[in-house]
Amino acid sequence: MSLVNYATREITCKIVYYGPGRSGKTTNLHYIYGQVPEDRRGKMVSLATQTDRTLFFDFLPLDLGSISGFTTKFQLYTVPGQVYYQATRKLVLQGADGVVFVADSQARQLDENIESFQDLHANLGDQGIDPRAMPLVVQYNKQDLPPELVLPVAELSDAINFRGVPDFSADALHGPGVFETLRGISEIVLRRLSTGNAGGSR
């Protein structure tokens, strides 16, 4: 849940990028980090294995300005997509205010996308969170690959986005769709925050 610090008048929201291994979660954060001015972002912490896969999380606070006199910051995390990092995914997911599900648009990855999406819902349920209540957007990444390798967005949406949440086509490596995705989840989280459906204090 979002943390409200009344002493410093700051609201901190946590967004988790979730999805199968190598779908582009870390690539999203690296692109955002490279585009955001230095005075609007904190230090990125990236813990990777020898195969360059995210092992724990990437952390990127984003200052989004003021809401009702409070400075709003977003912390962006990624979870490791590999199956054997189940415990770490659960840990990173704790306290999330919103989730970006990053799907790999390649046709051969469809089953992994579906499995990872089900895994997300199961992990939220294990934490006592109604998955349908969690702010969520879906990103169909790698749409820049040759058409014979990727599924059309409509087909991906039919297979993955059974909740009918906002979804975005993207090429996280080069940027198209990255900030649109971030803006999409940010708006949902902030809307919830402004109506009083989320929040804690520290």
pLDDT at position 24 is 95
At 87, is the pLDDT very low, low, confident or very high (cuts 50, 70, 90)?
Answer: confident
The pLDDT score that the predictor gives to residue 50 is 58
Q: Are strands 3-5 and 200-201 parallel, antiparallel or unpaired?
A: parallel
Confidence of residue 23 (pLDDT cuts 50, 70, 90): very high
pLDDT at 54: 55
Burial label for 163, CB within 10 Å (0-12, 13-18, 19+), is middle
Beta-carbon contacts of 72 under 8 Å, excluding residues fewer than 6 positions away, are 10, 11, 12, 13, 63, 64, 65, 66, 190
Q: How much is the pLDDT for 93?
A: 92
Contact 166, 180 (CB under 8 A): no
Number of Cβ within 10 Å of residue 33's Cβ equals 17
What is the band of 68 on the pLDDT scale with cuts at 50, 70, 90?
A: confident
Bigger pLDDT: 46 vs 107 = 107
pLDDT of 65 higher than 80:
no
pLDDT digits (tens, 9 = 90+) for 148-176: 999 999 999 999 998 899 999 999 999 99
CA dist., res. 68 & res. 64, Å (int): 13
For residues 134-150, one letter each, b for 16 or more C-beta atoms within 10 angstroms of the residue's C-beta and e for the rest, the string is: bbbbbbbbbbeeeeeeb
CATH class assigned to 3-201:
alpha beta
Distance CA 123, CA 200 (A): 21
Contact present, 13 and 188 (Cβ < 8 Å): no
